[in-house]
Amino acid sequence: MRAVVNFLCFQVGWFACVWGAAAGYLYLGPGLVLVFALAQLDWSHRWRADATFLLLVAFAGTFYDSLGVVLGAFSFPEFMLTPWYYPLWMSALWVNFATLFGQSLAWMHERYRTAAILGALGGPLSYWAGAGIGAIELIDVKYSLSIVALMWLLATPALLALHKVLRERLGSAQQAVSQVSA
């Protein structure tokens, strides 16, 4: 049941970020994603590992998408940009995606090839949908979606591996502390 709620929260978070940005409600999505992420951490038995994962994905995703902008794959309408020229709602989308790894995408652990394929398909679809809503601008659709596909082909299995490592290292330490204090 938690996986279904997690997936529904992801969908609502994605729509709030993307539609909110296109409609000028730049903080609607990030606010909802924050609430959903905190709920996810509250459910987690390995909250330290999961919190670390969410933060790392936020920073890595921001860097990764900034690379996409530098490569000329996509850009953002000027009114959406923060002082550091990257929209907060995009960082929130990365956190939103990261919340799936402990619940809805848990079945994918150890399936790195599947993760790569799903990333290469899902990433471009998400950016294309965002462009259709008006939240992001694809510079040249073929080139843009090819770059995004390559980025997500690499990012999704890497995030899967990072999630596994953090859960094994930080999650087991957290469980040991919990058992000692009980």
Contact predicate 95/54, CB 8 Å? yes
Of 77, 94, 85, nearest to 23 by C-alpha is 77
pTM score, whole prediction: 0.89
Distance CA 121, CA 113 (A): 13
Distance CA 61, CA 89 (A): 12
To the nearest whole percent, how much of the chain has pLDDT over 90? 73
pLDDT digits (tens, 9 = 90+) for 72-122: 999 887 765 655 578 999 999 999 999 999 889 999 989 999 999 999 999
Predicted pLDDT at 142: 96
pLDDT above 70 for 181: no
Distance CA 59, CA 42 (A): 22
Average pLDDT over residues 116-141: 96
pLDDT digits (tens, 9 = 90+) for 32-69: 999 999 998 988 888 899 999 999 999 999 999 999 99
Question: What are the extents of the domains in the chain?
Answer: 2-171
